[in-house]
Structures are given as C-alpha cells and as structure tokens.
Structure 1
Amino acid sequence: MARTRGAERAGAARRAKILNVALDLFAARGYRGTSIAAVAEAAGITQPGLLHHFPSKEALLAEVLAERDRQVLLAAGSDRAAEGSNLVCALEIVHDMLAQARGNRGLTRLGHLGTSGSDEVPELAREWARRRVRTYRTDLATVIAQDIAAGRVRADADPVATASLIIAAITGLEEQWLLDESFDMPAAMDAFTRMLCRDLLIEG
C-alpha cells in the first residue's frame, strides 16, 4: 500500500512538472512551435512517459490552458472575501489579474490563443476560449445581480451587458499591452473601474 501511495505521489509530481514545462514552452513558442518531444526533453522524461499522462498534444494543451487560468486566478486572490459590493471586489480581482499579467508576457499571450482565429490553433483552444468567456460572463453577471438585489447597484443596470463590457475591457487592455509593453494595463483598468462605479454604485 505504501508503495502504491508513493507511486501515486511520484506520478502526480511528474504530471505537475510536465504541465509547468509545457506551459512555459507553449507560452514562449506557441502551439505549433512546441513539440511533444521538446516538452518531454525539458521535463526530463521520455516521449512514451509523457504520453502516458497526456495521450496527445491537444490533450496536453487542454490541461495547460486550465493550469494557466488556475495560476492567474490564484495569483490574483480570487478566493478573497468580499467586503461591501461584490462588483467592486470582482473589479479589484480583475485589476490584480492584469497586474500579474505584466509579469509573464507569454502566459498572457497564451490566454489569447483561442481567440486568434488562425487555422494553426486547434479547435480545442477555441472551445476553451468560448467556454471561459461564457463562464466569466455568467459569474460576473451573477455578482452584479446580487448587488442589485442588495441595493448596492442601480436597479436599472443590465447584469449581462455590464459583465460583457468588463470582459471586453480585460481582453482589449491585454491586447494593447501585448502590442505595446509600455502600456499601463492596471492604470487603464483603474480608470475604467472608476467610471463604472460612478455610474452603477449607489452611494452609501
């Protein structure tokens, strides 16, 4: 039994190492520029060993994209407790996500992989991007609706439309920064947040 638990821990550690290595390589070289052989070599294992954990390059990419989101949200403190407006807390998390993005350009570029429209991007990545946007929009709309019900946000606010605007701001600001690294994403997000809060929040 002890041997089994040890093997499970070793397998989990090996899988985590593969994911982190693949994340770095996909971020630096793109999907087409990264081979299974390169990931296996960087992780210090054989290709058959890698394919034991991830049966294809597409399957590896799917896990890498999920790990990318997990790391970004964890770094931004998405589990923090809301004080006051849930919308304000969500916007603070978005601000921290953009601040974190400046520390890893490749990771940010990877987050835009599924929206490029290129035939070189697998359908899996496009579906991941569609699913992520739907999830973000639903979660943000729920937060805004809760604030409306609690009397913290104007009753005539449209939760879905507002959530869509916030997502558009995140995507657009990241794209501007990917084109021009001198662009200050967090400062621009702060300006957008102030405008949004002035329009939506009920004083007191």
Structure 2
Amino acid sequence: MHIAMNTFAARGYNNASLAEIADRAGLTQAGVLHYFRSKALLLTSVLELRDQSGIEQLGAGRPQGLAFLRHLVDTALRNAEREGIVRLYAVLSAESVTDDHPAQDYFRDRYDGLRAFVADALREACELPDEDTETAENAANAVIAVMDGLQVQWLLAPGSVDMAASTDLVVTALLTSLAPHRFGPDGEIRPGG
C-alpha cells in the first residue's frame, strides 16, 4: 500500500501505472488487481489509509472547540515530517477536480466534513450564535485554504515555509477577529471571556 501511496504522490493518479506499482511491489499487475480489483479502488484504499493514520493519532475522540483548532496547528507541525503523505494529498486533491476523477467524491466529502468540523470548532471557541453559520463556514474555508496552500508552498520550498507557525497565525487572527470579547490580541482567552 505504501508503494502505491508513494507512486500516486510522485506521479498523480493518471500518470501512475498499475504496472509500475506492481513491479515496485514485486507483484504482477494481476496480483495487484487480485487485491484491489481496479486502479481506482487501489487509490481509494490509499486515501483511506491516509485518513486512518490521522484518526489513530487523535486517539479516542476528536477534540472540540479551541482544542480542535490547536489540533490543526499540531497537524501542520506533524505534516512537516510526512512529505509523502502531504505530496499525495496535494497532488490528488488538485487532480480530483478533473472530469471523472475517481477521488472526486472522496475529496468533496472530505472537504464537507472538514469544513463542518472547523466551523463547529470556531462556533464553540468563539461562542458564535448557532444561526451565524455563514461566518463560521467562511472562516472554516479560510483555515482549510491556508493549510492546503501552505502544503503546496512547503513542498516546493520546505526551508521557506513553516506550516505550523503560519497556521497558528491564521487561527489566532480568526479567533481574535471573530470574538474580540473572548480573545486578546494574541489569541489567548481573556479572563472572564
């Protein structure tokens, strides 16, 4: 599975061949297809493995509110040590916008779920009213866009981009902007806030 992950990360879905993956794994194409039935199923299995490793790092439960937002910063820090996974995600998420890409539904669902998690965390941390969904969703989109954009920049120039520090700066600025009554200029919770 890791061989397929590295091949998809390096070449993208369309340019990666089952023959290359099979050869690198010491199998025949028929051997790979015995386990995965299709190249598209192999790709979805690789993406599920990526998600499973992220879920295992969370432990028993997903953090909520401010703890989830800090978890995003920690994720950016961990990603700086996982170039292959970051490259896989960056390449395939961009490639998935093309017609009939087999990972299009996966990424659409992933973004919908992540947007909901981040929006919920922002609503809770900033004590936003439930009816203020548009503000929370717009802020969540900004956080996700920053994190994804930082990954591309980091892949191109790792020594020039600190993904965790940049993510922390954006999260802190959003907290301060959305709830100045609750957060000070540095994003720390104010007494009584």
TM-score interval, smaller chain: 0.7 to 0.9
RMSD: 2.6
Q: How far apart are 1:186 and its partner, in Å?
A: 0.8
Q: Could you say if the C-alpha distance between residues 36 and 109 of structure 1 is closer, same or farther in structure 2, counting changes exceeding 3 Å?
A: same
Which residue matches 1:181? 158
Which residue matches 1:115? 94
Q: Give 1:10-49 correspondences, 5 Å limit.
A: 19-49=1-31
- Normalised TM-score (structure 2): 0.76
Q: Which moved more, 1:181-190 or 1:39-48?
A: 39-48
Letter in 2 for 1:46: T
Q: How far apart are 1:133 and its partner, in Å?
A: 0.8
Conservation of the 8 A alpha-carbon contact between 2:83 and 2:155: yes
Which residue matches 1:11? none
CA distance in 2, matches of 1:99, 1:73: 16
Letter in 1 for 2:48: A
Letter in 2 for 1:127: D
Which residue matches 2:73? 95
Letter in 2 for 1:60: L
Which residue matches 2:139? 162
Structure 2 residue runs of 5 or longer lacking an equivalent are 183-189
CA distance in 2, matches of 1:193, 1:144: 9
- Normalised TM-score (structure 1): 0.73
Q: Percent identity?
A: 31
Conservation of the 8 A alpha-carbon contact between 2:3 and 2:21: yes
Instruction: Name the count of aligned residue pairs.
Output: 177
Q: How far apart are 1:128 and its partner, in Å?
A: 2.1
